[in-house]
Amino acid sequence: MVNTRRKEMQYMDNKMLMGIYDNPDSTYAVTKQLMKEGYDIHDVYTPFAVHGLDRVMGVKRTRLSIAAFVFAMCGVASALTLITYASYIDWPMNIGGKPSLIGPDYIPITFELGILFTAFGMVGAFFVVNRMFWGRNTDVIDVRVTDDRFVIAVNIHENKTNVKALEGIFVSGGALEVRERIKEI
C-alpha cells in the first residue's frame, strides 16, 4: 500500500515547466528570481558554465578536489611501495657503496604515478557519478542546450505550483519558448 502511494505521488509530481533562453544573463536573472520566490528548480542546463549560477541555486561545492587528492595519494603510495619492494627488499644492489633506498632518485617516478592514478581515478569517478554506463541512453532535456540555448527546468507540483505565474516569470524574463515536459521516472 505504501509503495503504491509513493508511485502515485511520483506520477502526480512528474511534470516540469521549461523556459528556454538564448542569453546567459537573462537565465541567471530569472533563476535568481525563481529561487527568491521559492520555486522548486529541477536544474538549469547551459552549453557553458555561467559564473555564479551555482551559488544562486544553492549547489554545494564539489568534492572533486578531495577525490583527486585521494587518487594522487594512492598513486604515491603505490609508487613508494613498488620502489621499496623492488630496490630494497627483493633485489637490493650495492653500487659503489651507496644505499639501496635513497629518496631524490625516486621523486620523478612517484610524481608520475601520482598523476597517472589521479587521471584514471578522475575519469572513472566522472563516469560513476554521472551514471554513464554502457548501454544507458542519456535523457537530453533539449537538444539545443548542447549548442546555444539555456534551459531552466522547474518542477510542477500539483495544487502547489501556480503555472500561469511561472509562465509569466519566464516570458517576462525573455524566454524564447516555454513548454511543459513529463519527467522520466
Judged on CB neighbours under 10 Å (0-12, 13-18, 19+), 22 is middle
Q: What is the pLDDT of residues 28-39, one digit of tens each?
A: 999 999 999 989
Q: What is the pLDDT of residues 102-144, one digit of tens each?
A: 778 889 999 999 999 999 999 999 988 888 878 777 777 777 7
Domain with CATH 3.30.70 in the chain: 16-61+148-182
Q: What is the pLDDT of residues 60-74, one digit of tens each?
A: 888 899 999 999 999
The pLDDT value recorded for residue 1 is 43
Asked if the 16-61+148-182 domain carries CATH number 3.40.50, the reply is: no
Sign of CA dihedral 60, 18, 52, 35: negative
Q: What is the pLDDT of residues 5-57, one digit of tens each?
A: 444 444 456 788 899 999 999 999 999 999 999 898 988 999 898 999 989 99
pTM value is 0.67
